[in-house]
Amino acid sequence: MKYNKYILAIVCILLIAALPLRVMSQDGKAGMPGTYLHMGVGAQALSLGKAYTALASDATAIYWNPAGLAIQNPYQVYFMHSVLFFDTNFDYLAGSLPTRSMGSFGLGILYLNSGSFDQRNELNQELGSFGISDMAFMLSWAKELFPNFSAGINYKLVTQNVLDYSGTGHGFDLGLRTRLFDRLETGVMVMNLLTPKMKLAYESETYPMQVRVGAAMPFLENKLIVSMDIAKIIGWESAILNIGTEYRAMENLSIRGGVNNGRVTLGLGFTWNQVGVDYGHKNVSEFGLNHTFAVKYAFGGFGVSATAYPEIFSPMGDQNVSHISLKAKSRSAIQQWTFEILDKKENVIRSFSERGLIPEEIVWDGRDNSGALVEDGKFKYHFEIWTVEGEHLKSGGSLVSIDTEGPAGILGLGPQD
C-alpha cells in the first residue's frame, strides 16, 4: 500500500526515540528551566501515570500530543485544577474546535502560581513578600494527513514573573499519531522542538526539549485500555517509563491507575450526557498527595442522531406509523449508513442500510424485518455511518414506543332519569 512507507517511518521514529538516551548533565529536574511544562495536565492523563501520548484525543491533546486533535470530536471546553504543595496551584484551561476541511484547532493555557515568599535583604531584614508565576499559551493545529495517520503542531508563548522581573519566550511542539495492526494506537511528541529562550534580569535560560513515545491498546471489548509511555528530557534526566490502565466499570464510570516514574497514581472518571468529571492523585513522597480535579463539556461537532414523531404510536390506530428523522454531520461524504431498531432485550428487529446519502426520514410501521407486527413496548435505535475518508460515527438511545391497547378506562352506566 502507498501508506506503508509512512507507517514504516513512524515505527522507526518510535524505535529510535525509545532507545536509552545518555544523560548529558544531571539526573532529575531540580533547577531546570520551564519545569512546569513537564508536569502534565488532565486528571485522566495524570491518573494513568502520564502514559497518554497515544491516547490523547480530547482538549488535553494540545499538551500531550496535538496530533490527537485531528480525531477529536465534538467541540470541547476543558478545565483542570491541581493542588500542589507549599500553596502552589497548577491550572489548565483549553478549548478545541474540529472543522470539516481545515483540520482541528486548539487553544490552551497553563498557569503555575506559587504562594507568597518572604523577601529579605542582605541584612536578613524583611522587605515584604513576593510570588512566582509561570504561564504558557499554546495554539494548536492538527490534521489527518492519511487514513489513521495524523500530525499536529503547537505554537507556544511562555512567560515568567518573579519580583519585578518578567520574561517571555517562544517555542514549537510537534506531534504524530498513527494506528498499527488495527488496534495499536501509537504516538510521538517532541515538546520544545524549537526551544523557548527567556531572559530574567541579566541571565538567559533555554527550556529543554522532551521526547515522548507512547502506545496503547484496548482489551475486553474496549472496556480495558493499557497504555505505556517512554519520556526523556534531553540533558536533564534518564528515560522514564510510565504505565497506565483504565477500566470502564460502568457505562458512565471509569477506574484508572498507573505508575509514573516509580510512583503510583490513581483516579476516577464520570460522564453524564455532555459533561465529564475526573479526579486523580499521585503520591509525591514527603510532600504528600497531589490532588487533581478536572471538568469538561462537549457540544456540537460531528455526529449522528435520530428522533421519532410521534414518540408513541399504534400500528392499528389513527397514528399507525412513526416518522424517524435522521441527522448526520461528518468531515467527508457519507459512503454507507446503517440504522437499526432494537427491542428492550437489545435484539435488532428492523434494520435499514444503504450506500450514499442518508434520507431525511424513515417511516416505521411497527413491523420487523420479516413483515410481522412487533409486540408493544419501548424501542431503541443504533445509527452508524462510514465516510469516504474512513470516518466512523455512531449513536444510540431511546427512540419510540408502541401501544396498541390505548389508555385504560372504566365502562359504567349513569343514573336513570
Of 40, 58, 38, which is closest to residue 48 (Cα–Cα)? 40
Question: Hey, is 13 helix, strand or coil?
Answer: helix
pLDDT at 200: 74
Residue 397 has pLDDT above 80, yes or no: yes
Q: What is the DSSP string of 401-414?
A: EE-SS--------P
- Distance between CA atoms of residues 214 and 68, nearest Å: 12
Average pLDDT of the residues in 59-87: 90
Beta-ladder partners of 282? 265, 290
Domains of the chain, residue spans: 4-299, 303-402
Between 290 and 31, the higher pLDDT residue: 290
- Distance between CA atoms of residues 161 and 201, nearest Å: 11
Question: Hey, is 222 helix, strand or coil?
Answer: coil
Question: Hey, is 388 helix, strand or coil?
Answer: coil
pLDDT at 257: 95
**Lookup result for grid cell 460522564:** 271
Residue 258 has pLDDT above 90, yes or no: yes
The DSSP symbol for 318 reads: S
Of 178, 198, 197, 202, which is closest to residue 188 (Cα–Cα)? 178
Of 230, 262, 244, which is closest to residue 16 (Cα–Cα)? 230
One-letter amino acid for residue 262 of the chain: G
ω into residue 20 within 30 of 0, thus cis? no
What is the assigned CATH class of domain 303-402?
mainly beta
Cell of 304: 449522528
Residue 21 has pLDDT above 70, yes or no: no
Q: Share the mean pLDDT of the chain.
A: 85
Burial of 100 (0-12, 13-18, 19+ CB in 10 A): exposed
Q: Sign of dihedral through CA atoms 305, 141, 70, 337?
A: positive
Q: Collect all residues with Cβ–Cβ distance below 8 Å to 323 and sequence separation of at least 6.
A: 308, 309, 361, 362, 363
Between 365 and 114, the higher pLDDT residue: 365
pLDDT at 27: 42
Average pLDDT of the residues in 24-37: 65
What residue ranges in 72-183 does DSSP mark as E strands? 75-83, 89-98, 104-120, 126-146, 149-162, 165-180
pLDDT single digits (tens) 95-130: 999 988 899 999 999 999 876 655 555 656 565 565
Cell of 347: 435484539
CA dist 17 → 68, 300, 307, 317 (Å) = 19, 37, 49, 68
Q: How confident is the model at residue 211 (pLDDT cuts 50, 70, 90)?
A: very high
pLDDT at 212: 96
Q: How would CATH label the architecture of 4-299?
A: Beta Barrel (2.40)
One-letter amino acid for residue 352 of the chain: F
Average pLDDT of the residues in 242-268: 93
Q: Collect all residues with Cβ–Cβ distance below 8 Å to 2 and sequence separation of at least 6.
A: none
pLDDT at 240: 92
Q: Which helix (H) or strand (E) holds 332?
A: none
pLDDT single digits (tens) 292-320: 999 999 988 888 999 999 999 999 888 89
Please, what is the Cα angle at 79 between 77 and 80, to 5 degrees? 150
- Distance between CA atoms of residues 132 and 238, nearest Å: 28
CA dist 361 → 306, 325, 329 (Å) = 9, 4, 15
Alpha-carbon Rg for the chain, nearest whole angstrom, is 27
The whole-angstrom distance between residue 286's C-alpha and the CA centroid of its chain comes to 32
